[in-house]
Amino acid sequence: MLILILLLLPLITAIAIAVIPGISGQLSKNIGGGISLVNFLIFIYGLIQFQKGDTVLLDYSHVWLSNANINFSLSADGISQVLLGLVTFITMVVIHIAGSFDYKQSSLLYILILLTESALIGVFTATDIFLFYFFFEISLIPVYFLALKWGGENAPKITFRMFVYTIFGSLLMLSAIIFLYTKGQTASIQELAITGKALPKNVNILLFLAFIVAFGIKMPMFPFHTWQPDAYTESPTPATILLAALLSKMGVYGLLRIALPLAPIGWNQLGIYIVILAIFGLIYGSIIAIKQNNLKKILAYSSFAHMGLMAAGILTGNLSGTQGAVIQMLAHGINVAGLFYIVKIIQDRTGSRNLEGLGGLSQKAPVLTVLFMIVLLGSVALPLTNGFVGEFLLLKSVFDYNNTLGVIAGLTIIFGAVYMLRMMQKAMFGQLLPANENILDVNKSELMVLVPICLLVILFGMFPNLILNSTVEAAKAFTQLMSNI
């Protein structure tokens, strides 16, 4: 029941803000921020109760389409809980960030952010395949409008490309889902896994490909990534954070929950090729990131590279890969939100987000530099930061799966350090440009976001067992499912 409140609270708030006339932008910011905080606290409460053994709170099921045997059933196991935490936390952060910049007609902004939260909670907890699809597709719509309305000059074209890409993938997935549904006469993901296993090999391969395309576009994974760098760059920062931190996780989550379990024979046949593609994307993204000058683009490509590694980890189908991917989803979500926010701060202060227009900012903004450094090191996967555990587990899993691939994937540590530290060095150190003489350090409102993020970076880096222990059961269930084909 609690999970339903978690889902509906942002939705109802969003509708209320939209319908009640005369709510100003400021007021809607406060309402949105308050509600997202309440939602986060509700989630924490649910988590504590869950740890105590009260698992009913995070389960809900109700008949949705009675004739079609489709249920509105939500349930959060260990993996879903991690993602729920990420969603509720990042939404809070995004609303705060959106409030600190000047966006026109901003009450619509908060409505859209809250709607996204609702949809994402649905995606990460749905146990009915049509419910999953339903949320999977609508989660993009509010973000699309966010990017369209407040994006840069080229936003209409670029966000539209993103939309058509992902819809194309989703529709391929829908045809696979309908096929499975008519074969199995059930919409429960768990029961469909049995149906999927019984299907002949060639059908299974087609299903797997359809799923891979859908989730590969969403993540994005090589070669479906062409929409991503521009979309991340042109979108306003709240939309970018939503896209990079949350929406991309839907792809990985989909691989874990849908693609592999529902088309296991297809995975068995083609998994290795997809892993190769993912590793290729990882290296490719890293190399391009080194050559970029636009801060947002660097982050976009680094994000693309990280997603490749997560996909590879899931596709290996072993325990360390699964757990590594889950913990990396959390770490990457937190880090990338922090990084995009810092870039936005820098851009606001200096008016530039190109490396040429920056440099030496550490002289004027030492606190910002320290915070930037912490988050950045988390992203580079330095030990004792949250990125390390995930990346280590992922690399281990790929190495176990195939030694050569593991070695190649290992290069990412070097590349990652190169582009990230290059960005740091060029932007924050070196010669201070005269135009940037008068910039200010972080203010209180910005600290309110960045300090918790930095704390989380260190917390999960020091105590990864917090996550590993709570996800181990769900991850084991998954690997078990995948091991006996």
Partner 1 sequence: MYPILFLSFSGLITLFLGFFQEGKWVKPATILFLAIASISAFIDWNKPGAYFFNMLQVNNFNLLLSLVILITAILIVAISDNFKEIEYAHSAEYYAIMQFSLVGAIMMTNFQSLIMLFLGVEILSVSMYVLTGTDKRNLRGNEAAIKYFLLGAFATGILLFGIAMIYGGVGAFEIDAISGTLASNQAQSLFLYIGLVMLLIGLLFKLAAAPFHFWTPDVYEGAPTIFTLFMATIVKTAVVFALYRILHQSFQNMHLSWSYILAGCIALSLIIGNLSAVKQISFKRMLAFSSISHAGFLLLGLLHVSKTADKSLLFYSVSYLLASTSAFGVLLALKNERTENGRSNENISVFKGLATRSPFLSAVLIISMLSLAGIPLTGGFWSKFYVLTDAANDQFFYLIVLALLLTAVGVYYYFKPIITVFEKSDIQEAITINPIFKIIFVLTTLGTLVLGLFPDLLYGMI
State both tokens at 380: 């580079």
Measured from the CB of residue 404, what is the shortest distance to partner 1 in angstroms? Answer: 36
Listed ranges 43-51, 170-178, 342-350, 441-449: which one lies at the site for partner 1 (CB under 8 A):
170-178
178 binds partner 1, rule: CB under 8 A: yes
Give yes or no for a contact between 382 and 375, defined as CB atoms under 8 angstroms apart. no
Dist. CA 133–CA 164, nearest whole Å: 16
Q: Confirm or reject binding of residue 195 to partner 1 (CB under 8 A).
A: no
Note whether 4 binds partner 1 by CB under 8 A.
Answer: no
Burial grade of 226 (CB within 10 A; 0-12, 13-18, 19 or more): middle
Phi, psi angles (nearest 5°) of residue 451: -65, -50
| Nearest-angstrom CA–CA distance, 35 and 162 | 29
Provide the 8-state DSSP code for 351: S
Is residue 167 part of the contact set for partner 1 (CB under 8 A)?
yes
| 8 A C-beta contact, residue 47 and residue 85 | yes
- State yes or no: residue 174 binds partner 1 (CB under 8 A): yes
Query: What tokens were used for 290?
Result: 């080194």
Size of the site for partner 1 (CB under 8 A): 29
Shortest distance, CB of residue 164 to partner 1, whole angstroms?
Answer: 6
Q: How far is the CB of 263 from partner 1 (least distance, A)?
A: 16
* 73 three-state secondary structure: strand
Q: How many helices (H) and strands (E) does the chain have?
A: 22, 2
| Stretch of 167-175, 372-380, 410-418, 423-431 lying at the interface with partner 1 (CB under 8 A) | 167-175
Distance of CA 239 to the CA centre of its chain: 12
Non-local CB neighbours of 144 within 8 Å, separated by 6+ positions: 159, 162, 163
As given in the structure block, the two tokens for residue 238 are 């709240």
Q: In the bound complex, what is the minimum distance in angstroms from residue 237's beta carbon to partner 1?
A: 19
Instruction: Tell me how far, at minimum, the Cβ of 138 lies from partner 1, in Å.
Output: 5
Q: Which residues of 275-307 are buried (b: 16+ CB within 10 A; e: fewer)?
A: bbbbbbbbbbbbebbbebebbbbbbbbbbbbbb
Q: Are 427 and 373 in contact (CB under 8 A)?
A: no
Residue 175 binding partner 1, by CB under 8 A: yes
For residue 8, state whether it binds partner 1 (rule: CB under 8 A): no
Q: Does 370 bind partner 1 (CB under 8 A)?
A: no
CA dist 429 and 147 (Å) reads: 32
Between residue 16 and residue 75, which ones bind partner 1 under the rule CB under 8 A? 63-68
Q: Of residues 209-238, which lie at the interface with partner 1 (CB under 8 A)?
A: none
Site for partner 1 in 296-325 (CB under 8 A): none
- Measured from the CB atom, is 138 or 451 closer to partner 1? 138
The minimum distance between CB 135 and partner 1, in angstroms, equals: 8
Contact string (CB under 8 A) for partner 1, positions 110-139, x = contact: --------------------x--xxx-xx-
One of 181, 401, 419, 460 touching partner 1 (CB under 8 A): 181
Q: Are 228 and 320 in contact (CB under 8 A)?
A: no
Beta strands in 42-83 (DSSP E): 59-65, 70-75
Least distance in Å: CB of 140 to partner 1?
A: 9
Q: How far is the CB of 258 from partner 1 (least distance, A)?
A: 16
Task: Find the shortest distance in angstroms from Cβ 159 to partner 1.
Answer: 9
Q: Locate 255 and state its tokens.
A: 């691989």
Token representation of residue 362: 């550490």
Q: Is 179 in the site for partner 1 (CB under 8 A)?
A: yes
Minimum CB–partner distance for residue 198 and partner 1 (Å) = 15
Measured in whole angstroms, the distance separating CA 79 from the mean position of its chain's CA atoms is 13
Closer CB to partner 1, residue 109 or residue 346? 109
One-letter identity of residue 370: V
Residue 253 Cβ, how far from partner 1 at the closest point, in Å? 18
Binding to partner 1 in span 136-165, by CB under 8 A: 137-138, 141, 148-149, 156, 160, 163-164
**CB nearer partner 1, residue 2 or residue 162:** 162
Task: Name which of 159 and 350 has its Cβ closer to partner 1.
Answer: 159
Q: In the complex, which residues of this chain contact partner 1 (CB under 8 A)?
A: 63-68, 130, 133-135, 137-138, 141, 148-149, 156, 160, 163-164, 167-168, 171-172, 174-175, 178-179, 181-182
